A and B are shown apart, each in its own frame.
Chain A
Amino acid sequence: MNDRLSPQLQRLATAQDRTLVVDQDARAHAAEERLLSTLARRSERTTWRWVAVPSFALAGMALLFWLRNPDPTRLEAFVADGSRVAIGTTLQAPANTSLPLNFSEGSFVQLQAQASVQLLELQTRSVDMRLNSGASRMRITPAQGIAWRFHAGPFVVNVTGTAFDLHWRPEQQQFEIALSEGSVVVDGPLIEGSRRVSRGESLRVDLLAGISTFQDHAVRTAPKPEAPEIQRREPLLHSVRKSTAVPHEAPAEGAVPTWNSLAEAGQFRAALSAAEAQGMKSLCNTLGAPALLQLADTARAAEQESTAASVYTCLRRRFARSEQAALAAYMLGRIASEIHHNPPRAAKWFQTYLKEQPAGPLAETALGRFMEAQQQQGQFQSARQSAQRYLQRHPNGPHAAMARSLSGQAP
């Protein structure tokens, strides 16, 4: 392959990827509807052929057809002893044990001890439940045309197929969601705009305290104070406080707040504006590595991924081989994966992090995301090798289920 040409042809790929992202979901949905209606029409034609058979055989075949293909959209809910759960029923788990609720198409909801849930609606194409209080574990099997909704206080969860733990504590007005499979986008009180929560991550909202907290489970295993820069820098952990609280870093009256004081106060857009007023280029050339990382995270929190990526790149150039540079590589991988939907580039950055910090605090999740990016590119053999490596090192990690699936092991 022509070495001069390869990077330029990669630009073609990147340009094409950007066109594919535009209206991707709408296009996919339209294509899915079209495909499924084509399949349904073909199925109807197959059914009609049997109608022409003489009466006895017709009756027998009709019965056989019904037995083998019961109404696929009829949904029913059962508790453990097989009793059906009627619409409107409220279920309360016992004080010391959980209570499973199973659905006929394979989904289940497991109420933890003392949790309470009400079945609001059970139609052919929709299921509505309310988590009155407590914790529950949901595993929803995707099925054509069935919309699931879980109400938890002021939050509504719309589900088509994923697995997560959902908590709602009405007395404390606390909401928490933790993803074990798939990913979701959260919209609600104290979350301006939208927030993506992916496998291995959790989001907690305390309405009374006015705090929302997002965490990547890998960050909880970050090293202890002997590496204070990294621990303090947890770039995926942010919290905000009520604006009425007086922040310790409140500027003196009349003073113009600095970009980092605004960022510490959670005013990310204002912080980024202040940084831009100061001159991003100048900041990129003069700030130390920890501050550069904070600036990049601020840009990311302000939904300016392009600016964030530029700052991460500057950090890597100025502080090559530092721990912050490796962290920047990881974040560039996440931008490539989740914002630009560019698996090849994402894989490259996650691999870079793994080379620079093979035992770093994000090594587990970087390997999991690297494996995922390989799968998205259709590099199934390579993904399988990565999956085996992942399972050797992190048999109980958040990506373990995916790794087992890729490597052909039982879940």
Chain B
Amino acid sequence: MPVPGLVYQAPRGWFAMSTAPKSPERTARVLPLGTVMSDEAMLDGLRQQRPGAQAVFFRRYHHYVERLITRVLGYDRDVPDLVQDTFLAALKGVEAFRGDHGALGTWLGQIAIRTARGCIRKRKALRWLDFRPSPKLESAAAAIFKPEDQQALSHAYTALDKLPTNERVVFVLRAIEGMDVGEVCSMLNISAATVKRRTKSANERFTRLAGRDPVLRDWLDVHAEDSERRSPPEDNGQ
């Protein structure tokens, strides 16, 4: 019996056709993904606190918010809580949102970044009180990783932890998320000059830190002579 509202996780992949006709009695399922509610209708519904609009809002932006927070924090046990905090803050503040529906995503992204940044600052302040071990990838996620990739991710975020928070956030959005300067300006409400200055400073610090870390150095190939010797990696679309 399906759980109401649950979208089934159908097996991934393209179709595979059978040459032997299956029995017509076999029941099929057509599993939908996505919604038809326009952003404009959704925003109206959010302002009226309609549960349907809230559900659409969450489903439409959950992956985006989760990805942004993960970019800033890395793999972290607190990401689910921060995602919740982001959506709760957004739903609480949507009545005061004055933009149009096209700006909703950017506005939500701003809340997500602010939430993640607040978490980093709180941790830095209470670092001496935190005795918890570093989080590890869940076994299902870990199973798809090469060990060297797991290590590199962990070491990269350890290096990012050493950057000033403002520089870290700009660096992550530019270098890892791939946003351009204008998009970072919109996301963080700062000037282009500030984005460029923080990017440059963060880049220099990160390069220095990565150069001192054997794991990162190998993985990121920061030595000029090494990168010139190697041929460009094959782009296999992944």
Contacts and interface: CB of A to CB of B under 8 A. Distances in A.
A381 B183 contact: yes
B31 A379 contact: no
A336 B236 CA distance: 11
B126 interface: no
A5 B175 contact: yes
A143 B105 contact: no
B227 to A, nearest CB: 5
Contacts of A302: 16
B236 A310 contact: yes
Contacts of A7: 233
Contact of A190 (B18, B103, B145, B206): B18
Interface stretch (A178-186, A251-259, A273-281, A361-369): A178-186
Nearest to B142: A19
Nearest to A175: B28
Nearest to B8: A158
Nearest to B210: A5
B6 interface: yes
A189 B25 CA distance: 8
A379 B24 contact: no
Interface string A278-303: 00000000000000000000001111
A239 B54 CA distance: 41
A268 B238 CA distance: 22
A19 B216 CA distance: 19
Contacts of A160: 5, 7, 32, 35
A147 B5 CA distance: 6
B163 interface: no
A268 B141 contact: no
Interface string B198-238: 01000100110000000000011110100100000111111
A163 B36 contact: yes
Contacts of B31: 158, 184-187, 194
Contacts of B203: 1-2, 5
Nearest to A408: B102
Contact of B28 (A156, A375, A408): A156
Q: Indicate the size class of the contact surface on chain B.
A: 35 or more
Interface string B172-208: 0011111100110011000000000001000100110
B19 A265 contact: yes
A55 interface: no
A303 B14 contact: yes
Contacts of B22: 189-190
A140 B37 CA distance: 9
30 contacts: A5-B220, A10-B176, A19-B144, A19-B145, A23-B141, A27-B80, A28-B59, A34-B84, A142-B37, A143-B51, A161-B35, A163-B36, A181-B36, A185-B8, A188-B28, A189-B22, A191-B17, A193-B11, A193-B16, A199-B34, A303-B13, A305-B14, A306-B236, A309-B237, A336-B238, A378-B64, A378-B106, A378-B179, A407-B102, A408-B40
Nearest to A402: B38
B36 A162 contact: yes
A214 interface: yes
Given A22-B141, A210-B21, A381-B182, A35 B235 contact: no
Interface in A1-41: 1-2, 4-10, 12-20, 22-29, 31-32, 34-36, 38-39
Contact of B101 (A24, A141, A303, A408): A408
Contacts of A305: 13-14
B66 interface: yes
B30 A313 contact: no
B164 interface: no
A191 B21 contact: no
A25 B24 CA distance: 30
Contact of B32 (A26, A34, A159, A207): A159
B15 A214 contact: yes
Interface in A91-131: 105, 125-126
B18 A192 contact: yes
Contacts of A357: none
Contacts of A381: 182-183, 186
Contact of B16 (A72, A207, A239, A301): A301
B26 interface: yes
A266 interface: yes
B175 A185 contact: no
B238 A267 contact: no
Interface in B132-155: 137-138, 140-141, 144-145, 149, 152-153
Contacts of B207: 2, 5
Contacts of A177: 30
B58 interface: yes
A145 interface: yes
Contacts of A401: 38
B178 A188 contact: no
B62 interface: yes
B7 A29 contact: yes
Contacts of B19: 240-243, 265-267
Contacts of B58: 31-32, 35-36
A237 B153 CA distance: 40
